[in-house]
Structure 1
Amino acid sequence: MHKLQQLQSRAANFNVALDDVSITTLTFGKEFTAAIEAKQVAAQEAERAKFIVEKAEQDKRSAVIRAQGEAKSAQLIGQAIANNQAFITLRKIEAAREIAQTIANSANKVYLSSDDLLLNLQEMNLDVDAKK
């Protein structure tokens, strides 16, 4: 049975004839409204908890991948040092260049011993053929 027909039959019990019905205002009780709001809050909390769990899993994966990359990097550096001692000299030169660049770009005046900053490149043995 259609909703309008149901209303018409119920209204007929009170001697009221309905031709057409329009609902203009519909309100729910306080308890029902509170229950809907509580359900929405619970759904939002569940989504937030799900997001936190997913973020933690991504952080864990990221940490594992980073650790694997660092381990591989250490392995490759170890192999490079074992194969050619000039690799250490190259790393010293790169470190000295970076330190010098930082000091040169600084607005402050810096007075330091070059021995402390790996800037004593003239004392390095740059002979690639020499094996230690």
Structure 2
Amino acid sequence: MNIRQAQPSLYLYGGGALVFLIVAILFKPFTVINAGERGVIMHFGEVQDQILSEGFHPVLPVYTSIKKMSVRVKKTDVDVKVGTKDLQILDVKASVNWHIEANKVNRVYQQVGDDRQVRETIIIPAISEVLKAATPQRNAEEILKQRSSLKEEIERSLKPRLAKYGLQVDDVSLINIGFSPEFTKSIEQKQIAEQEAKKADYEALKASKEAEAEVNRAKGTAEAQRLLKQSLNKELLQKQAIEKWDGKFPTVIGGTGTLPLINIAPPKN
């Protein structure tokens, strides 16, 4: 075959490849499911039981369409005004991490819709309702002191509500709890009063201990003096004087000392 005879075949091959490329671009007989996604298969708009996992998949153009759904963890923040048992109004900001269960993406899309619709239709209303149900069981001060307990209660209530829609709760956080200025001031005053009461109790206890120590010291001094007085009799004092005598007699010793009066005159020459 010469070059002129080969040219029509080359043109035909090149034209076929171009047509295939155009068809592939227009009708896309394949789809690629990226990491963190699942593919919902629809035949003329009817959701199928099969779910496409990550990777390359051939599809029938026109007959089959694919809706990609993310199964990654998403974060939704909600600001809610709630009431308390003692009729306080709180501004609560909660954050929920959640994801669509991978084996239920087709039912989620069929019943609710895409990610945005799931968030607006299911997630936000559920968080708001659970918060409004949990806070009236406590007064404002209990919420302030039992924040972790409130978080756990909200998480326990939220999980089964979302699970029936094929949604999984990963974590719940109470980012902020805002109290009214009046309540905040009353809490500060109460804390100051408690600190002052503790200080007063400490000072009273300290004074009591110091007084008790002073009484004990006084009792000890009195007891020592009593014992000393008992021990200082006439014989003991005379004995102590004799022990201290240097053997020299004074010329005259008078008075009412502990030793008897001794008059010793010097010898006459």
TM-score by length of 1: 0.49
Greater strand fraction, Structure 1 or Structure 2:
2
Higher relative contact order (CA 8 A, sep 6+): 1
Structure in which a larger fraction of residues adopt helix: 1
TM-score, normalisation: structure 2: 0.27
